[in-house]
Structure 1
Amino acid sequence: MAEEKQGAYVEDEFRRDTRYIPTRITADGQPDGFAAEAGRYRLVVSRACPWANRTVISRRLLGLEGAISMGICGPIHDADSWTFDLDPGGVDPVLGIPRLKDAYEARPDGYKPGVTVPAIVDTTTGQVVTNDFRQITEDFATQWTAFHREGAPDLYPEALRAEIDEVQQLVYDDVNNGVYRCGFAGKQDSYDRAYDRLFGRLDWLSERLSTRRYLVGDTITEADIRLFTTLARFDAVYHGHFKCNRSKLTEMPVLWAYARDLFQTPGFGDTTDFDQIKAHYYGTHLDINPTGVIPKGPDNSSWLTPHGREELGGRPFGDGTPPGPPPEAERVPEL
């Protein structure tokens, strides 16, 4: 299945299919023969997808735009594939294909689990190299260092990796994937369990972030990127569409301030497209929203209001600097 619902039901509980392509792109090309090389690979994403949005943020913060090109699929797709309907003629200008499925099918191993974004395609062969969203961003931070911009932050500092891994696993289980377990629950009991886990973890995160600006250490790390993409979609889609309705993000003061702090940091808000986010969830998940009607709200201008998180200290980019403006072709609509 192409959409983010890719998975199965076990006792009416949604279980995400995590059989991702294990191939990695590394600095020296080991162990799979794919070396980090400027101009060779194309990152394919959708602005709507939170898993893909992570890779867009990481690529921008690290300044990898010049080394890794980016193809952007539209927010609505069919049951088979994400498509390049935002491009002239509906064809990706670099890969020359109308459907991301074509790059998956070019693989010699007959990969079956589904056509997902993000995906990194080797432009020399037209084949998807990897779609493992968790590994992609870690490798951006650690394997592509030769191509990082001057002043790029360390998003996965070695001294903090154990804590980052621990925190982001909790976030993944209960929040990133937890909203989907709520939205796609097959029975009341499954929904209730997912709902309680989700808001229990959000309460835990609120407490953790009440005295610290970022999740781990005093700078932005991989953990913050992974939490942000779910928070950015919370009021727009998860609160109503996925029935995550104990509280809106705007009603959780610590998390709302934290999310605004990140949104107003270069690399976060300027990679977030609320219109495409809503179009995807409400227009693709027709089993949940049969009419396909896309709500006009909420009013997103409040994302730009002061957050006051500077009082907690911390340095967003550590010893580094903010990225410059995004390339013209990659800009999202301003609020």
Structure 2
Amino acid sequence: MSDGNSGYVTGGEYNRDSNYIPDRITADGSGGWPVEAGRYRLVVARACPWANRAVIVRRLLGLEKVISMGMCGPTHDERSWTFDLDPGGRDPVLGYERLQEAFLARFPDYDRGITVPTIVDVPTGQVVTNDFAQMTLDLSIEWTAFHRDGAPDLYPEALREEMDDVMQRVYTEVNNGVYRCGFAGDQAAYDTAYARLFTALDWLTERLSTRRFLMGGSITEADVRLFTTLVRFDAVYHGHFKCNRQKLSEMPVLWAYARDLFQTPGFGDTIDFPQIKEHYYVVHADINPTQVIPQGPDTANWLTPHGREELGGAPFGDGTPPGPPSADETVPADSGPGGLGHR
């Protein structure tokens, strides 16, 4: 989601700019953007936890052949995320070098952050939305005509009221809470942020000690949203963002829960640890002026047994896991657990 600002620490408490393009792609097309196979391109970066949500949900629901995916590199400058992983540094579908071009194609005077995930209308090359929270919910509730057979119900209607409350707390206290620690501009702001984060992690520990997933026996979008922060915790947030009361691997319940998800198709196979580390340690130069990327931690422990099956349930309920990712969307073998190389 990072927008390319050169300075992230501005003094006092960190407040996220949450003014996104609110357009939605809907089954009835009432907002001008109808659900349509092949029309839209999801632009993401593997490094970004907010984009990682969309990558996972798209995969779990089997929308890969319906919504194409463009991949930005792990770092960006003040202007924009860039397509430096693609031949010639251009997205092969949009023809853009920078995601910024899609925003300017629709809003010539756009002056806000250029964030991922973003959905782009391929025929016009214009941004549709970068509202990351609504985007993934709409993949579940508006794109049902294109879901794969056996796709999970990630936003069950009967659970939505409670689930919305859980997801809101996860967002404010954990997803954004780690950033509140990392970008705190003074000691008092950091101390408050640190206390809030670990209070929430203790609450999650208690909740997950008796149920396999956040809402019960099967995976929902709530788990996707928590996972993308937990999977980055030891590699980035513990040290870089000073979230260091404990490592995730020292919190037994959350560590086992995170490994359970990591080892589930559609979760761990979207994770590129070297890109994650390169993004945070290089882009946040005001926190890490040397831009040195740490070698550790060893990530092979993500593949160790988790034992969460004892709590019952099934990750996909009555459904089935997604198949393996396509060759062009597969994370390189040396970038997953145990892979310590840098790009």
Contact 2:9/2:185, CA 8 A, preserved across alignment: no
Q: Does 1:2 align with 2:3?
A: yes
Separation in 1 of the partners of 2:178 and 2:102? 29
Whether the 8 Å contact between 1:160 and 1:217 is mirrored in structure 2 is no
Distance in 2 separating the partners of 1:6 and 1:84: 22
Counterpart CA distance in 1 for 2:279 and 2:64 is 25
Q: Secondary structure of the equivalent of 1:14?
A: coil
Tell me if the contact between 1:179 and 1:242 (Cα under 8 Å) persists in the aligned partners.
yes
Cα pair 2:24 2:129 within 8 Å, conserved: yes
- CA distance in 1 between counterparts of 2:7 and 2:12 reads 15
Q: What TM-score does the superposition give when structure 1 sets the normalisation length?
A: 0.97
**Root mean square deviation of aligned Cα:** 1.4
Write out per-residue CA displacement over residues 201-242 of structure 1, whole angstroms, 9 at most, x where no aligned residue: 000100100000000132100100000000000000000000
Unaligned runs of 5+ in 2: 338-343
Counterpart mapping for 1:16-95 below 5 A: 16-30=16-30, 32-95=31-94
Amino acid at match of 2:192: R
- How far off its partner does 1:142 sit? 0.3
Distance 1:275 1:230 in 2: 16
1:204 is matched with 203
1:267-294 superposed Cα distances (whole Å, 9 cap, x missing partner): 0000011010000000110000000000
**Structure 1: where are the runs of 5+ without partners?**
none
Aligned with 1:166: secondary structure?
A: helix
- Cα gap change, 1:127/1:176 in structure 2, threshold over 3 Å: closer, same or farther? same
Q: Secondary structure at 2:274's aligned position in 1? A: helix
Distance (whole Å) between structure 1 residues aligned to residue 20 and residue 6 of structure 2:
15
Q: Report if the CA contact (8 A) 2:45-2:116 is conserved.
A: yes
> 1:108 and 1:183 mapped to 2: Cα distance?
32
User: CA offset at residue 2 of structure 1?
Assistant: 1.8
Q: How does 1:113-152 map to 2 (within 5 A)?
A: 113-152=112-151
Q: Under a length normalisation based on structure 2, what TM-score does the superposition of the two structures give? A: 0.95
Task: Work out the CA distance in 2 between the residues paired with 1:310 and 1:5.
Answer: 45
In 2, are the aligned partners of 1:4 and 1:116 still within 8 Å (CA)?
A: no
> Could you give the per-residue CA deviations for residues 94-126 of structure 1, whole angstroms, max 9, x where no partner exists?
000100000010114733221000000000110
Find the residue that maps to 1:106 and give its secondary structure: helix
SS at match of 1:70: strand
Tell me the number of residue pairs that the alignment of Structure 1 and Structure 2 aligns. 333
C-alpha distance 8-164 of structure 1, shift in aligned 2 (>3 A): farther
Counterpart contact for 1:8–1:15, Cα < 8 Å? no
What percentage of aligned pairs have identical amino acids?
71
Post-superposition shift, 1:319? 1.1
Task: Quote the Cα distance in structure 2 between the aligned partners of 1:89 and 1:201.
Answer: 44
Match of 2:163 in 1: 164
